[in-house]
């Protein structure tokens, strides 16, 4: 091979490799930002935990703040309740039964209220904070055929009309004549904050589910109920987060996912919190707790503001 041809071939190979290295470097730079787009104090877990431990509704007419979780099937609603319990009790707990299998059908079929025990000993004491879990929003199979919780049942739950342990029937929402209907809800029965739970690594939310979510949000807005969203499975979405949870707010991918969800549903970005639920872990993680507590503080602040407005 002539020397000039050999040189030309070597130069082409060099340029090809250089361009490939630059492409890879560019892709890596796109994964994480140099600076986080939202700040969190990773070393202040105890401060945030104390904030939750000392919380009690300022208005004496309400004994506890009620949080209603809703969202697509498999988003991690029950697992989020368990994760909150883990943080508050400082150990692994399973107050809400959750399924570890992937399914297009909801594992939760009844209206459940979950309390969080405070400390040990008798008599038992509980945090003035309760979570309600309910059937997931499922995709409509065909016209006239619906699955999952009926949006009307969520609307009734927000007003306090759904009794404990009521079993959901997708095609037949709760009526005033049903034994599961509470005709005279108290301020404690009402929902004080509505929280949508979605999975970061799930496929695009189907239009029929989005329609249900928008209808639910409209009712909450009419009632003046504050709304938030919890984004789960963030480590499955982004490899950099999986490597180090502290990269959560440096992830371009997660920021875009949250922004897209915000645009689709209408929940502002500063009302959307990413978390990593406890799923395979058997020990407490400070980083996981910090994200959960960060979300929990906002839930308490927004919910308590609504309780104040109920009596003004």
Q: Where are the beta strands (DSSP E) in 187-282?
A: 193-199, 227-232, 272-274
Q: Which of 31-40, 142-151, 252-261, 267-276 bottoms out in mean pLDDT, i.e. has the lowest?
A: 142-151
- pTM of this prediction? 0.84
- In tens, the pLDDT along 286-309 reads 999 999 999 999 999 999 999 999
Q: Give the pLDDT of residue 202.
A: 83
- In tens, the pLDDT along 142-188 reads 444 455 678 888 899 999 999 998 888 877 888 898 999 999 999 99
Task: Give the span between the Cα atoms of 292 and 93, in whole angstroms.
Answer: 15
Q: Are 98 and 107 in contact (CB under 8 A)?
A: yes
Average pLDDT over residues 274-278: 97
Secondary structure of residue 103 in the 3-state scheme: coil
Q: In what order do the strands lie in the sheet with 112-114?
A: 112-114, 129-133, 65-70, 193-199, 227-232, 272-274
Residue 277 token pair? 């639920």
Q: Which of 135-149, 171-185, 208-222, 265-279 bottoms out in mean pLDDT, i.e. has the lowest?
A: 135-149
Q: Give the pLDDT of residue 97.
A: 57
Average pLDDT over residues 207-216: 89
Is the alpha carbon torsion for 270, 194, 151, 169 positive or negative? positive
Residue 1 has pLDDT above 60, yes or no: no
Q: For residue 243, what are the contacts with CB-CB under 8 A and spacing of at least 6?
A: none
Task: Give the span between the Cα atoms of 37 and 39, in whole angstroms.
Answer: 7
Q: Are 134 and 108 in contact (CB under 8 A)?
A: yes
For tokens 């997708």, the residue is 170
Q: Give the pLDDT of residue 126.
A: 93
Q: Are 274 and 231 in contact (CB under 8 A)?
A: yes
Higher pLDDT, 263 or 124: 263
Residue 2 token pair? 């002539």
Task: Give the span between the Cα atoms of 303 and 130, in whole angstroms.
Answer: 11
Task: Give the span between the Cα atoms of 171 and 157, in whole angstroms.
Answer: 17
Q: Are 83 and 292 in contact (CB under 8 A)?
A: yes
Average model confidence (pLDDT) across the chain: 86
Task: Give the span between the Cα atoms of 173 and 167, in whole angstroms.
Answer: 10
Q: Give the pLDDT of residue 11.
A: 66
Cα dist from 38 to 60, 197, 201, 247, whole Å: 35, 20, 20, 11
């Amino acid at each position: 091979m002539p020397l000039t041809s050999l040189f030309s071939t070597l130069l082409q190979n060099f340029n090809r490799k250089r361009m490939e290295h630059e492409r890879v470097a560019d892709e890596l730079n796109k994964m994480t930002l140099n600076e986080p787009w939202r700040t969190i104090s990773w070393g202040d877990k105890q401060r945030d935990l104390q904030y939750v431990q000392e919380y009690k509704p300022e208005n004496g007419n309400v004994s506890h703040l009620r949080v209603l979780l809703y969202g697509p099937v498999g988003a991690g609603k029950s697992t989020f309740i368990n994760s909150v319990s883990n943080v508050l009790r400082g150990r692994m707990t399973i107050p809400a039964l959750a399924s570890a299998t992937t399914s297009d059908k909801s594992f939760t079929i009844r209206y459940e209220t979950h309390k969080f025990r405070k400390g040990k000993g008798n008599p038992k004491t509980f945090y003035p904070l309760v979570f309600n879990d309910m059937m997931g929003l499922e995709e409509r199979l065909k016209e006239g055929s619906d699955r999952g919780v009926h949006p009307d049942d969520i609307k009734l739950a927000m007003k306090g009309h759904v009794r404990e342990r009521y079993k959901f029937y997708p095609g037949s929402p709760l009526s005033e004549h049903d034994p599961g209907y509470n005709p005279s809800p108290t301020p404690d029965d009402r929902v004080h904050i509505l929280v949508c739970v979605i999975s970061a690594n799930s496929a695009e939310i189907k239009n029929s589910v989005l329609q249900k979510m928008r209808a639910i949000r409209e009712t909450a807005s009419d009632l003046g109920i504050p709304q938030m969203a919890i984004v789960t499975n963030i480590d499955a979405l982004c490899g950099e987060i999986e490597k180090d949870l502290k990269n959560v707010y440096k992830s371009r991918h997660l920021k875009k996912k949250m922004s897209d969800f915000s645009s689709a549903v209408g929940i502002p970005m500063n009302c959307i919190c990413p978390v990593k639920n406890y799923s395979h872990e058997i020990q407490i993680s400070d980083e996981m707790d910090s994200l959960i507590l960060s979300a929990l503080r906002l839930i308490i602040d927004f919910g308590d503001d609504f309780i104040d407005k109920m009596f003004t």
